[in-house]
Amino acid sequence: MYSLIYLSITPYFLHMDFYKKITYYEKKMGKKLSIFGNIKASHENHENWEPLWKNATPKKTYDFIIIGGGGHGLATAYYLSRIHKSSNIAVIEKGWLGGGGTGRNTSIIRSNYLWDESAHLYDFSLKLYETLSQDLNFNTMVSQRGVLNLAHNLSDVRGAKRRLYANQLNGIDSEWLDTEGVKKYCPIINTSPDARYPVLGSTLQRRGGVARHDAVAWGYARAASDAGVDIIQHCEVTDIHVSNNKVVGVETTQGRINAKRVGIAVAGYASNVAKMAGFELPIATHPLQAYVSEPVKPILDCVVMSGAVHVYLSQTDKGELVMGAGVDKYIGYGQRGSFNVIEEQLSACMQLFPLFSRMRVMRTWAGMVDTCPDASPIVGKTPVDGLYINCGWGTGGFKSTPGSGWVFAHTMFNDAPHDLNKAFSLERFYSGALIDEHGAAAVAH
């Protein structure tokens, strides 16, 4: 009898003791996410998680305002506070954090760009990704599973090899796989010489892969909020106040907010927001679509991209295939695309992966991409003093999020570009020093 009572209550006491220990360790670790915190939360049925960031009410004046709560805006705020020890910063987002391109992309990260300027910037970003989870104390699920860029004809092969040699000269890992090598690395690709898109070879960047896009936004938001950055959601910037060619603040749906320096990081909306300050950008905004299949068992353990046929895909941890398409050719802000683009992309995908032919597409969506004539971003000063712009990342701005935030924070803090973004100024469209990365972009635009 006694032993029965003992057996039934002991686990309870043990559990209590354990629970207290967890609470003790969690308190000791402050707000750090930890295994103890996770165990505690699971014991509380996940009902008492603290919000990841505080929703702030706007103050009258800030030293730095960043318009746009996507990955780039949030990373900028985080590095302004962490690297430059600035306080009094606000991120102003008209919707919800990560609701733009940041939460809609196919999450591919890589750095195999052609020109030195891009290669250095994107590789810096990839290096930041490699330690981002530790840096933010938030699991950004970076998975360096390798990225293949397929070549389907002689011109593709020449372009790919040219990029590969340039990458190697820049110390960026990149190797060439012939058709057999591709088949060995990713056996499910159709490499038959009779295929509609024969695979003549591929570059492989083993350090490339994917990261969890929401986690990148949330991780930066949490770390920035912890450092005292005001995160203001559902607040649209409707005008930019300029006096004597110097920015002095912004008008928002929650009233006027003064600022010494303002950074614009609104991706597809960049031209509209720049117009508020009286200047134009060489940006065209297009819809870009993506979709996921129903989930299946692990079948694809790398990222496969084909710029020529606009196929890029990977498999998520849940088993879905995530696929991206080419841009819809018209200018559009609606965050929705046309069916013919999906149809063309899927038909090319079926040629490359015939074994997916009976799978079903579960969901499709679109975002907006801000494309520049040379397929490179604009990160730097604007004609208005104290106003800075970060845009034009087009179809490839997720991979650059940490690096872009880092150099934009530097630019805003020092009123001068970082070495890594000097070449990406707005002036290049006057000087002609364009950085043509059309060949390295995921899709043509």
Ligand X SMILES: Cc1cc2nc3c(=O)[nH]c(=O)nc-3n(C[C@H](O)[C@H](O)[C@H](O)COP(=O)(O)OP(=O)(O)OC[C@H]3O[C@@H](n4cnc5c(N)ncnc54)[C@H](O)[C@@H]3O)c2cc1C
Residues that bind ligand X (CB under 6 A): 67-73, 92-95, 99-102, 104-108, 236-237, 265-267, 269, 273, 288-290, 324, 367, 369, 393, 395-399
For residue 94, the minimal CB distance to ligand X (Å) is: 4
For residue 413, the minimal CB distance to ligand X (Å) is: 19
For residue 39, the minimal CB distance to ligand X (Å) is: 33
Give the span between the Cα atoms of 202 and 183, in whole angstroms.
10
Token pair, residue 209, equals 């892969």
For residue 353, the minimal CB distance to ligand X (Å) is: 18
Closer CB to ligand X, 107 or 425, in the complex: 107
Give the span between the Cα atoms of 130 and 141, in whole angstroms.
10
Closer CB to ligand X, 99 or 373, in the complex: 99
Residue pair 157/201 in contact by the 8 Å Cβ criterion? yes
12, containing H or E segment: helix 2-28
Three-state DSSP class for residue 166: helix
Closer CB to ligand X, 109 or 166, in the complex: 109
Closer CB to ligand X, 183 or 206, in the complex: 206
For residue 385, the minimal CB distance to ligand X (Å) is: 21
For residue 166, the minimal CB distance to ligand X (Å) is: 19
Helices (H), 29-150: 35-43, 71-82, 116-130, 132-136
Given CA atoms 381, 384, 388, 393 in this order, what sign does their dihedral have? negative
Angle separating helix axes 71-82 and 401-414, nearest 10 degrees: 50
Instruction: Give the residue among 221, 263, 251 at the shortest CA–CA distance from 413.
Output: 263
The 10 Å Cβ neighbour count of residue 272 is 13
Closer CB to ligand X, 200 or 216, in the complex: 216
Closer CB to ligand X, 131 or 272, in the complex: 272
